[in-house]
Structure 1
Amino acid sequence: MGAILKRSKSLLVLWDSSYTSRLWCMFEIAAFLHGKGPSADAQRHLVACPVFVGPTLLLGHLGLSILLLAFEFSQLPMIPWGTIIICGLCFPCFTALAYVVLEHCRSIDVVQNQVRYFTIEQSLCYCCSCGHTDPLTREPMICDRSILIRCISSWFGSAEQFETLVRHHVMTTLVHQLANNVFSYWRILQAISPLFWLFLDFWIGPIARDFVPVDIVIAAVIFCMMLIPGIVLILLRLSYKFRNLAAGVRQQLMLSVGLVSIGMLLFATLMAADRASAALSWHLCGDRTPGYATLLILSGILSVLLWRCLPLIDAQNI
């Protein structure tokens, strides 16, 4: 196992709430980071992906699809009634998603506390939990814990040095991954992909009339790849900031509704800026394309500032 981990270029951790309590799991991640050496960039080699990410992205995709389908079938103009319908449907479509994200944010605190006080004696092994007896055949089982302790003493020097590595290096790396890299830019794009289908629907009509709607293409790039992911990033940071603000289920639901409300207000503000830019461009140039081009530049700058300059969540301050 140690040789395989040392020769591996990357390690994918499919994390759940019991991961940090199992000795085998902590040995694997600690051995992998130890084999890379202290000078290696752990964030490039280790990828933590919670098992709930897939269902969460699917939930966001489903909620957005329902919202956009309702807007499409309403056949209402985007301003003002379309925007009002979208903002109103945000609550039933995204409150559950916000609740799940808040639960993830709170679970990071639990992970940090578990790893900070990790000990080999208190960690779990399947063989020890069943009394070193196979529950099916009733035959005696070899103790994995004793084997791992010998491997740890040989590779890490002592059990104490292994525990120190887990409590510091492993904790910082794992918490950083869970706090900053679970909902990456590309995963957010996957979740909001129904937006591309909405703009494709807007695009088809003019194409059928032998007219290329450049402004709609630019608007699709602005909203789908810049503004909406930026709103999601802001809401994610707010979720981490206020994760412990509510204790009970009702308070957590109210906090989830509050987060959705903030996202709704940000979206409405962006839509107002989009309409104002298009109207000004039409008034000055007789075409909406220059306005969208200007908005594209401004949105690009804002997006780069958000994704590159916004400070990462510090594992020590969680």
Structure 2
Amino acid sequence: MGVSQSACRASCCQEAKHAQQEDRGNEVSFPARHFAADPGGLEEAAQVVWSDMPEQGFETGAIFSNSESLMLGALSSAPVEPVRSKVLDPDMEMLRGISLSSTLLGGGHLWRYSPQTFTTEQRMALYKKSKPMQHLDMFISHTWWTAGWRKAVALYFQSTASIIFAAWLFCIFMSFVLCITDVLPLPFVYQANLLGFTELCPMGCWILCSGLLGPLLASVFYIYLPCCTSPVCFVDVACIHQADQALMQRGVQGIGGFLAVTRELRVLWSPPYLSRLWCIFELAAFRKANPEGKITLKPLFVEMAVLCIWVVLFGMNICFFIARSGRNGANIAAYTLAIVPFPPAVYVLRKNYLAKKKLLVDMEEFDLNRVSCYNESDREFIHSAISDWYGSAQAFTRFVQGPLRRELVAPILATNLPWSYIFLIITPTFSLSMETLLALWKGGAPVECLIAWTAGMLLGNNCFFVPAGIVLMLYLCDRFAAPVGSTCLAGFLQSLAIVFVMIFYALVVSASSNLLIYAGVWTALVWLGIAVLCFLALTIVYSRRRPHFVDFVDP
């Protein structure tokens, strides 16, 4: 959350327009001087450190008024003592929450558009969607200097991944059954060539299509369900009153108490996050207000990688479907076309992992004195507050580099994506293999052919070797994320080299699987066993990777 802008800058509307042009979001200032009776008394201000938490809270949510003057007027009129007492104790009359799924309605409208573009009526409509609460499941922290659609995509996958996978299983099963029972037509043909079976087989596209459209529609429908079980979260644009100045002031003063009754602080990390002084301050505030609370780091590049790979694999499998259909069997042109999306996809993945490296470097080399803040009085106030909390700015720096870094960074140090995401990614490949299995079945292939295809291709390749290939590609994109040269051509050649490695991997796996699967049932089962062993070995190696941290001790 939290960002501070200079109060002397242009109006919020002008600033929002400028931020949208740069795709960086919005920031607003809540200067520290408005919380202190004496703007020059930093020592007194440092004693009111909890009162600054409401300032920090605003970056994740929105700009709360049509102009800075309204908010600053509300805050400047607040006496110091009530701020001290109210922030430490939750103001239960003001505590409100909104379901995470509600924030994703309308294609993530709440996240995709700058809050400055909302009218007063729209802001009040958002406020009415939130409900009074006794506690919160989640407090979402992010910066508006990051494109909102990325946050919407990340939260969508985080909220609906299990629904997408369950819907995919249901859709491919029902499509398979409906095709087997001749309810759905099979308009295409497949030239079989397996264990001596070389007949033309009827082939459909229902499994592949339903495997795409079904999960998408199901996940969107799930978000709109009234009975949808979704975490209750705090998003300030929806949970703090936007029109009534007194209620707005109470909401601002109560954010510290809201943090105290929140189970999880979810950080939607993006490259600008740790460069914002208010974001750093919010992490410190949550840990002080809620020592037992959970801070979860959710880098936006993770879900962006999932989306990128899934789109590429789905496009490739469409090309493979075209290549396999027809009387002449494989079409080399279609197979070649399937490779076209790979170079740009690898380039995007490398850019994603550059963001990961920036996160690691930012945490390791964090220095409070280098974090930017537009308003010097804000900087002085926050530094005084942090020194009061942690003893000194240097002590807080060591806290970020040490305990906080270990807590936040360890889960994302491994190259691999979560296995749940990887198996979500391979759904297009599995769907295509199910189409081929259905074609063999409807074409009258012997049982031996069906068993060999199921064991070797459907399970061995799709469930084990394809995930291994994804892990290999992610490792290469991570390992060689940084460009070796300063020119665009060097970066392109670097991505192309990774593509060639992946093509070589695919050719080796394809040739080996064809050799063993087409040799007979037992060799297909051997191939499945090899795939399982490779998968288990990969899982063990991945699970045993432990991050190495250097402890920072007092000099």
The TM-score normalised by the length of structure 2 is 0.45
Q: Percent identity?
A: 19
Question: Contact 2:266/2:298 (CA < 8 Å) preserved in 1?
Answer: yes
Which of 352, 359, 383 pairs up with 1:111?
359
The match for 1:186 is 420
* Aligned-partner Cα distance in 2 for 1:298–1:7: 50
> What's the secondary structure of 1:17's corresponding residue?
coil
The structural deviation recorded for 1:195 is 0.7
- TM-aligned CA distance change 1:2 to 1:177, over 3 Å: farther
Where does 1:236-315 land on structure 2 (aligned, <5 Å)? 236-244=474-482, 246-247=484-485, 248-280=487-519, 282=520, 288=521, 290-310=522-542, 312=545, 314=547
Kept in 2: contact 1:33–1:170 (CA 8 A) = no
Which sections of structure 2, spanning at least 5 residues, go unmatched?
1-254, 551-555
Corresponding position of 2:241: none
Q: Shift of residue 299 of structure 1?
A: 1.1
TM-superposed deviation, 1:150: 5.3
Whether 2:453 is the aligned partner of 1:216: answer yes
Q: Which residue type is aligned with residue 26 of structure 1?
A: I
* Alignment-derived partner of residue 158 in structure 1: 392
2: CA distance, partners of 1:93 / 1:82: 18
1:46/1:309 Cα in 2 relative to 1: closer, same or farther (>3 Å)?
farther
1: CA distance, partners of 2:469 / 2:288: 38
1:267: how far off?
A: 1.1
Task: Tell me, in whole angstroms, the C-alpha distance in 1 between the residues paired with 2:303 and 2:419.
Answer: 15
How far apart are the structure 1 equivalents of 2:531 and 2:281? 45
- Return the letter of the residue paired with 1:202: T
Q: 1:2 to 1:89 in 2, by over 3 A?
A: farther
Q: State whether structure 2 residue 435 is matched by structure 1 residue 201.
A: yes
> Which of 271, 275, 278 in structure 2 is aligned with 1:24?
278
Residues 191-232 of structure 1: CA distance to partner in whole angstroms, max 9, x if unpaired?
A: 332112201211222443677734333322222221111111
Name the structure 1 match of 2:311.
Answer: 62
Q: 1:170 maps to which residue?
A: 404
The answer on whether the counterparts of 1:105 and 1:179 sit within 8 Å (CA) in structure 2 is: no
CA distance in 1, matches of 2:263, 2:465: 35
Q: Distance in 1 between matches of 2:410 and 2:489?
A: 29
Does the 8 Å CA contact 2:324/2:330 hold for their aligned counterparts? no
Going from structure 1 to structure 2, the CA distance change for 1:173 and 1:52 (only over 3 Å counts) comes to same
Partner of 2:250: none
Decide which of 344, 354, 371 is 1:96's aligned counterpart: 344
From 315, 321, 329, give the equivalent of 1:72: 321
Matched-pair contact (CA < 8 Å) for 2:386–2:392: yes
Q: 1:147 to 1:227 in 2, by over 3 A?
A: same
- Verify the 8 A CA contact 2:271 2:359 in the aligned structure 1: yes
**1:77-99: CA deviation from partner (whole Å, max 9, x where unpaired):** 9xx9568954x345421111111
Q: Which residue number in structure 1 is paired with residue 473 of structure 2?
A: 235
Contact 1:175/1:315 (CA < 8 Å) preserved in 2?
Answer: no
RMSD: 3.6
Conservation of the 8 A alpha-carbon contact between 1:226 and 1:300: yes
Taking structure 1 as reference, are residues 304 and 316 closer, same or farther at Cα in structure 2, changes over 3 Å only? same
Q: TM-score, normalised by structure 1?
A: 0.74
> Which has the higher Rg, Structure 1 or Structure 2?
2
2:358 and 2:364 map into 1 onto residues whose CA distance is 10
SS of aligned partner of 2:422: helix
| Contact 2:347–2:495 (8 Å) recurs in 1 | yes
Question: Letter of the aligned partner of 2:481 in structure 1?
Answer: R
Partner secondary structure for residue 215 of structure 1 = helix
How far is 1:186 from its partner?
A: 2.0
- Counterparts of 1:312 and 1:251 in 2: how far apart (Å)? 31
Q: Which residue of 2 aligns with 1:49?
A: 298
Which secondary structure does the structure 1 equivalent of 2:368 belong to?
coil
Contact 2:416 2:471 in 1 (8 A): no
